Structure 1
């Protein structure tokens, strides 16, 4: 079980209020996306959840236990893969488990096989394509012992075709593990395709403006992206984001 509660979070930097009264819950096994303007404090919220900063007000709870300011209780995948260049693929993916002394190399090899990387466990990051490095980073996040994962725009640097392949791959792997995920993206389509729920943030300071519970069944197929319902939801969320611009 892994349920995250974000309760009344506020954070300022240099007297500038960045986050204000942020409250929501990610249920066990749920995939939720944060969507909002650039600079709205989404990454700051991740840093707070991960214990890199402390909030000025509010608290975080994982399965009912307070984790405010604590590090190592969630798994975090940043925008760049952040692989160690001197470690091969296998050594990189077991890093999180290694830190917690819970290494299972057989499981790691099985995950690499599922990720299409079975022949690359001894390769080094510079020998991989961008998409392959992203897959290595995600396998590392899955192999970390924490049941809650924060993904910060992990596909933003990829081209459109590779990005769609990675989204589909992510869904396939996630379906088999069902860890709770909080996902940052600027893409409405990406949020709709991946998520059970979308939380829309305003900016200056960030506040929760809307939450959308999505009706799309799982497992998801790429054909969903061309469906009438998908375009209708895209229009609805686009209008919400446009309204934020008008009111900012």
Structure 2
């Protein structure tokens, strides 16, 4: 398990400032969600953590090591599953480990079975539904040698029922592994249901507006979504986002 520290990160593209002095941390085995308006810089932050861009100022630390601008330090799953169409499902999920020279096919088959994908190991991505492809992408992230995972709105393209099923599946798998996760979403309920903490970003240039530490025990049941306590937390975060959107 890994700990990420984001320290005073600023980023601009040309004359447009996207991030302004952003600082937060994700502890070992913690599930943290980022919420913010569309275009507020959440995905840019992920690209910076993953080393695809360098910040104009600030530093990223993973387990105390400076990873600013370094690629391959974290596992990143974008909004679309981004599976290679010419590779089988099994070949797709071992890709990250394969790049490091240590694919574990036995473990990969076991993880696919837990994901409800037994029998699809030799299938190709186009033969799977959207929800199944998303599960493949997440299994790939879990099997990658990096302990820290960034998930960028992985369920945004799914219908509501499939999304709920995927959230439940994600939590079940995560409970077994407890890897550190930073999760981007626009959905307040999703953030509340999945997370230990929710960080609200301001409008562009994005800064940390507010942080919510959630009291819900784990493992979580979907009945939580209907509870009065859950509704009260949803209202509090909704009000904060309203303030952000009208700032």
Q: For residues 80-104 of structure 1, what are the alpha-carbon distances to aligned partners after superposition, in whole Å with 9 as ceiling and x for unaligned?
A: 0000111110000000000011110
**Residue 110 of structure 1 pairs with residue 128 of structure 2:** no
Q: For residues 144-195 of structure 1, what are the alpha-carbon distances to aligned partners after superposition, in whole Å with 9 as ceiling and x for unaligned?
A: 0000000000000000000000000000000000000000000000000000
Q: What is the distance in 1 between the residues matched to 2:244 and 2:56? A: 25
**Residue 124 of structure 1 pairs with residue 111 of structure 2:** no
Any stretches of 5+ residues in structure 1 without a counterpart? none
SS of aligned partner of 1:243: helix
Q: How far did 1:244 drift?
A: 1.1
Match of 2:85 in 1: 85
Match of 1:53 in 2: 53
Q: For residues 176-223 of structure 1, what are the alpha-carbon distances to aligned partners after superposition, in whole Å with 9 as ceiling and x for unaligned?
A: 000000000000000000000000000121010000000000001000
Match of 1:201 in 2: 201
Q: What is the distance in 2 between the residues matched to 1:245 and 1:38? A: 10
Q: What is the distance in 2 between the residues matched to 1:235 and 1:155? A: 22
Q: How far did 1:116 drift?
A: 0.4
Q: What is the distance in 2 between the residues matched to 1:83 and 1:103? A: 17
More divergent stretch after superposition (158-167 vs 237-246): 237-246
SS of aligned partner of 1:233: helix
Q: How far did 1:245 drift?
A: 2.0
Count of aligned positions: 247
Q: How far did 1:119 drift?
A: 0.9
Matches within 5 A, 1:1-248: 1-247=1-247
Query: Runs (4+) of structure 1 moved beyond 4 Å?
Result: none
- Normalized against structure 2, the TM-score is what? 0.99
- Normalized against structure 1, the TM-score is what? 0.99
SS of aligned partner of 1:17: strand
SS of aligned partner of 2:112: helix
**Pairwise CA RMSD of aligned residues?**
0.5
Any stretches of 5+ residues in structure 2 without a counterpart? none
SS of aligned partner of 1:10: strand
Q: For residues 24-59 of structure 1, what are the alpha-carbon distances to aligned partners after superposition, in whole Å with 9 as ceiling and x for unaligned?
A: 010000000000000000000000000000000000
Residues 203, 245 of structure 2: 8 Å contact kept? no
Q: What is the distance in 1 between the residues matched to 2:189 and 2:117? A: 27
Q: What is the distance in 1 between the residues matched to 2:246 and 2:129? A: 40
